[in-house]
Amino acid sequence: MERSLTMEIVRVTEAAALASARWMGRGKKEEADDAATTAMRDVFNTIPMQGTVVIGEGEMDEAPMLYIGEKLGTGVGPKVDIAVDPLEGTNIVARGTTNALAVIAIGDHGQVLHAPDMYMKKIAVGPEAVGKIDINASTIDNLKAVAEAKNKDIEDLVVMIMDRPRHEKVIDEIRAAGARIKLFQDGDVAAAINTAFDNTGVDLFMGIGGAPEGVIAAIALKCLGGEMQGQLVPQNDAEIERCKKMGIPDINKIFYMDDLCGGEDAIFAATGVTDGELLKGVQYKGSKARTQTVVMRAKSGTVRFIDGEHSLKKKPNLVMKPE
């Protein structure tokens, strides 16, 4: 995987963020997602690589672009697997709330899990608590392990978990243990990677969310030296059959980091669409716009925060006319 690819994909997430942020607070999540997807696909065509989408907008007959199996790039350069979420948090943008991202994760060819579009039970931590969590352990045991690893009292831990009825039992257990909770409505990629940055104040991520998002977050955590574990949670016989068709015969399998993203290298980039704990959202300033992006690479351990300023006069397709 070439070093230049790290900076090339920043252009892709920036374009998606700039296009989708125009829809913030307008209550139209599909339009926001379409804008991000179109902008992302256009820039992908200019990147020197041989990319294959393994996690994207759906199957070929479900998505017009960035579909699973689609070839991306100029056809020259490194051969890689690509996981994309052009707009991670479509509901977030529609409502104008926090932590929407435009996201790309890249792994060595054949090394990224082809996760079916279904629920996955997940647990994630940053570098300090790697090797201490166990998705099969009780909530209190994981809290104790993370607190010990981070030299904290349980009362000082902050756990991010999605605000859903399915998490009521876990939320009650966390509160009974004395730990603090940050509930969020959407966007569990951002929630998971927040565990690896001290300035977010997040120590542990738990809960059930999308499996594709779990793989994307795992690639980010690989770059950051963190850890994620996952287990698929199929809801019916059709989803169980889908697992088998995608090469996952054991639906009870625990996926560890090497299962989610193997190989020696990985790259992750995310541009803020709306403000969040980690990144500022897009800000429009007349004929210019500002973005903030984090990009990281596993092989070098490099993490860069990039503030971009963009001329909108040169990108008329990014300016949405009022209805």
Residue numbering of the annotated binding site for Mn(2+): 33, 57, 85, 88, 213
Do residues 208 and 109 lie in contact, with contact meaning Cβ atoms separated by under 8 Å?
no
Name the token pair of 87.
Answer: 């707009």
Say how far residue 108 (Cα) sits from the centre of its chain.
Answer: 17
Reported residue count of the chain is 323
- What would the DSSP string read from start to end of 17-49? HHHHGGGTTSS-HHHHHHHHHHHHHHHHTTSSS
Paired residues of 123 in beta bridges = 206, 229
The tally of CA atoms less than 13 A away on the side-chain side of residue 266 is 28
Hey, is 238 helix, strand or coil? helix
* SS3 state at 235: coil
Binding-site residues, please? 33, 57, 85, 88-90, 119, 164-166, 186-188, 210, 213
- Binding-site residue set for substrate: 88-90, 119, 164-166, 186-188, 210
| CA atoms within 13 Å, Cβ hemisphere of 8 | 18
Element (H, E) at 72: strand 71-72
Q: What is the C-alpha to C-alpha distance for residues 247 and 241, in angstroms, rounded to an integer?
A: 10
What is the CB neighbour count within 10 angstroms for residue 309?
10
What is the spatial distance between Cα 221 and Cα 241, in angstroms, rounded to a whole number?
Answer: 29
